[in-house]
């Protein structure tokens, strides 16, 4: 169809069937969430409290599930 965006794979997102499918779905969901055009539309509409809640949730999970070295290397890109 004219004007339709290319297939993003969102139809492959399905949660609750099994762990492997959940993991693949979460990875795709996060990739879709991080698309620049979506971020430019969404971020200005978020309330300050929503932004802080999102940052707190994500950083909390990173610190819970990654060792300090992994956090610095994988998230911050600090390999020094």
Rounded Cα–Cα distance for residues 71 and 79 (Å): 10
The set of residues, in sequence order, having a beta carbon less than 8 Å from that of 51 and lying 6+ positions away, is: 43
What is the reported pLDDT for 80? 73
Instruction: Tell me the two tokens of residue 55.
Output: 């940052």
Prediction pTM value: 0.80
**Rg of the chain taking only CA atoms, in angstroms:** 16
Tell me the domain boundaries of the chain. Answer: 9-45, 46-80
Q: Report the pLDDT value the prediction gives residue 6, as an integer from 0 to 100.
A: 55
Q: Which residues contact 10 (CB under 8 A, 6 or more apart)?
A: 28, 32
pLDDT digits (tens, 9 = 90+) for 19-70: 999 999 999 999 999 999 999 999 999 999 999 999 999 999 999 999 999 9
The first and second tokens of residue 14, run together, are 């399905």
């Amino acid at each position: 169809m004219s004007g339709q965006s290319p297939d993003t794979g969102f139809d492959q997102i399905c949660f609750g069937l099994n762990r492997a499918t959940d993991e693949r779905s979460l990875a795709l969901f996060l990739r879709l969430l991080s698309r620049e055009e979506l971020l430019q539309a969404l971020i200005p509409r978020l309330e300050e409290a929503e932004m802080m809640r999102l940052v707190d949730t994500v950083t909390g999970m990173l610190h819970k599930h990654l060792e300090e070295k992994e956090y610095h290397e994988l998230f911050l890109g600090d390999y020094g």
